Amino acid sequence: MARRPLRVGVGDLVRHPGTRHEVERSVPAGGLGSLVVGASRVDPGVDVEVDLVLESQPGTVVASGTVATRWHGECRRCLGEVVGELRAELREVFGDESEGDPDDGDFYALEGDEVDLEPLVRDAVLLNLPVAPLCGDDCRGPVPDAFVPAGDDDPDGGSDDPSRDPRWAALDDLDFD
């Protein structure tokens, strides 16, 4: 059976309210499933750094700390490559399923004497990835004069209307009447 690095034993914590346990792990993003939001993604080979403190309270375990990784994507204006660092602060509760339904989103399930931090870490990364990143606040987007349409070898433009793309000329012949 494969070892799951984000599954942590909390038996002693649960039996002694008020105690703390530090968890520091570096796990490959590929083990967390697909980490893609909009135009941003974390590649499977990139490590996700997990630095949490688990603290027991009566009937629950509270996880607080940070999750950090590197991401990349395309700028929403110029489509250039954007690379960034993600650092998410979190504080989440693990509770007994008899106290409620973890699917309601109020807490993560406490599984006997263990907590599985994988869903918590995955959620933190996905919720903090930019949906439409920018390469910079001053990005003005693509520069039309810098791009020559495909097949346009004529340096004089070859067309009376430079804003029209000659590849769409066949549509001018369509008659809808």
Q: Quick: pLDDT tens for 33-66.
A: 999 999 999 999 999 999 999 998 887 889 999 9
Contacts of 13 (CB under 8 A, 6+ apart): 19, 20, 21, 54, 55, 56, 61
Q: Where does the pLDDT of residue 1 fall: very low under 50, low under 70, confident under 90, or very high at 90 and above? A: very low
Paired tokens of 36: 């893609």
Sort residue 173 into left (φ over 0), alpha (ψ -120 to 50) or beta.
alpha
Q: Where does the pLDDT of residue 11 fall: very low under 50, low under 70, confident under 90, or very high at 90 and above? A: confident
pLDDT tens digits, residue range 124-177? 999 999 999 999 888 887 766 665 555 555 555 455 566 677 888 888 888 887
pLDDT tens digits, residue range 84-115? 999 999 999 988 766 655 556 678 888 878 88
Mean pLDDT to the nearest integer, 2-7: 74
Please tell me the predicted confidence (pLDDT) of residue 162: 61
**Can you tell me which residue has the tokens 């590849």?**
167
Mean pLDDT to the nearest integer, 18-33: 91
Beta bridge partners of 82: 73
What is the C-alpha to C-alpha distance for residues 159 and 154, in angstroms, rounded to an integer?
Answer: 9
Please tell me the predicted confidence (pLDDT) of residue 173: 86
What's this model's pTM, rounded to 2 decimal places?
A: 0.72
Please tell me the predicted confidence (pLDDT) of residue 12: 82
